[in-house]
Structure 1
Amino acid sequence: MTTHIFDQLASIGVVPVIAVDDAKDALPLADALLEGGLPVAEITFRTDAAAETIATIAAERPDMLVGAGTVLSPDQVDEAVKAGAKFSLSPGIDADVLKHAKTKDMPFAPGIMTPSDLQLALKLDCSMVKFFPAMPAGGPKMLKAIAAPYAHTGVGFNPTGGVTLDNLSDWLSMPQVRAVGGTWIASKADISAGNWSHVTENARQAVARVAEIRESA
């Protein structure tokens, strides 16, 4: 299941990373992303509305691949599973959280920033990791240097934090990068204002840019 889910994320190439303050926005958000051709969302556990938002999208928009972000504890793994999340991620790495996620058959990509982090992730059988915070940590050049000695392991990366439409090609040109995390696609400002057309346009541009990058590779 883990490989299958992460293969789906890789086929899409970009995952909107979203904080939702009010679960009433769940379906308009999902519809805006779907209309833009982006059937995936990482709903972060940074707000009290996260679990309900995930549950609503999972139940009402089954075509949407919805995951949980900023999952920091075993209890939040349980919340994500109960809500119907298909995958989970975190900004850092915690062995207890990863072990618990494995017992729940929850595909989990922990955050890493150093080779030592990455080796811990590999020891815990992670097939994909989040490189976070991507730009402050050194950007594409840093990830390329970190990933090189581990290319033979097949581990994939999901850079998040400072990734934009303009630097998307710098990330996706690396074979180890399966998909990027995009916080720009559905901002809190657009969600609170109900500016769904802007979310749709951002999603459409991201999808088009991924296709363009991969066609020219």
Structure 2
Amino acid sequence: MQPIAQKAMAPDIIKKVNDAGVIAVLVIEEVKQAVPVAKALLAGGVSAIELTLRTPVAWDAAKAIKDAVPEITLGFGTVLTVEQVRNAAKLGADFAVAPGCNPRVIAAAQEHGLSFAPGVVTPSDIEMALEQGCRILKYFPAETSGGMKHLSNMVAPYNYLNLKFIPLGGVNVNNAADYLKSPLITAIGGSWIAKQDLIQGEQWDTITRNAEEISQLIKHIRDNK
């Protein structure tokens, strides 16, 4: 059987996410915080962001980042509806992810040309995603589901398909290496780099230091593979 073609994520976005190695998950409550946090992350070597759609300013914050910090690979998280897909594509997002695997949302992303990674945590989730042509998948919630041990065992029957995963949920600098050392992982994601309280407190230097720490870890692991 031939590998299932990737339809849900464009090759250039796959490369950008893989090159980044980490996606900073952000919850932004004020538009004025958007550009400073993006610049702080970039200064520390983190070039990919997942901006969650959990606040009313998320769309405006994303537009501000796209306009002022075009070097950032910008994605949306918690994308649950066809309308959100449409809005993300219209805004020019590089990608979007979801906590679950909704075929209607995946189909809408493909229709609008939006690179998309659905969330999976069971073999059934994986097979639903495969049916939609997805091979880059969000593993969520990663840590409470069993971490890399669970993922490795779950994916074993599908190894010939060369699936890649973005683990989120409980991933942090202390356990990042467990994921990054695995060939299954294209990038990790997490909110610890720029926690909501750090953004609210405008602690840009701390965010840059957190970004530098994980960027250095990624480089060390990749240099020693």
Measured against the shorter chain, the TM-score band is over 0.9
Check the 8 A contact 1:2/1:107 in 2, yes or no. Answer: yes
Structure 1 distance, partners of 2:100, 2:11, is 21
> 2:144 aligned to 126, 136, 139, which one?
136
Write the mapping of 1:56-67 to structure 2, written as runs, cut at 5 A. Answer: 56-67=64-75
3-state SS of 1:204 partner: helix
One-letter code of the match for 2:13?
Answer: I
What residue number does 1:153 align with? 161
Which of 82, 95, 111 is 1:74 aligned to? 82
User: CA separation in 2, counterparts of 1:172 and 1:148?
Assistant: 18
CA distance in 1, matches of 2:159, 2:193: 30
Contact 2:137 2:164 in 1 (8 A): yes
CA contact (8 A) 2:137 2:166 kept: yes
User: Residue 169 of structure 1: which of 177, 197, 204 is its match?
Assistant: 177
> Shift of residue 207 of structure 1?
0.4
Q: Deviations over 1:5-44 (max 9, x none)?
A: 0221111111001111111111101110111111111100
**1:107-122 map, 5 Å:** 107-122=115-130
Match for 1:31: what amino acid?
A: K
Mapping of residues 37-48 of structure 1, within 5 Å: 37-48=45-56
Match of 1:92 in 2: 100
**Is the contact made by 1:3 and 1:127 (CA closer than 8 Å) also made in structure 2?**
no
Secondary structure class of the residue paired with 1:125: coil
Letter in 1 for 2:184: Q
Residue number in structure 2 paired with 1:8: 16
Equivalent in the alignment of 1:207: 215
Aligned-pair distance for 1:60? 1.5
CA contact (8 A) 2:89 2:113 kept: no
* TM-score, reference length from structure 1: 0.97
Shift of 1:118: 0.3
Paired with 1:112 and 1:25, the residues of 2 have a C-alpha distance of 31
Rounded to whole Å, the distance in 2 between the matches of 1:148 and 1:2 is 25
1:87 positional shift: 0.2
Distance in 1, Cα, partners of 2:103 & 2:38: 32
Unaligned runs of 5+ in 1: none
The Cα of 1:191 is off from its aligned counterpart by 0.3
C-alpha RMSD of the superposition: 1.0
Q: Determine what percentage of the aligned residue pairs are the same residue.
A: 37
Runs of 4+ deviating beyond 6 Å: none
The alignment partner of 1:194 has SS state of: coil
What is the match of residue 180 of structure 1? 188
Distance in 2 of aligned mates of 1:50 and 1:83: 11
Paired residues of 1:15 and 1:40 also in contact (CA < 8 A) = yes
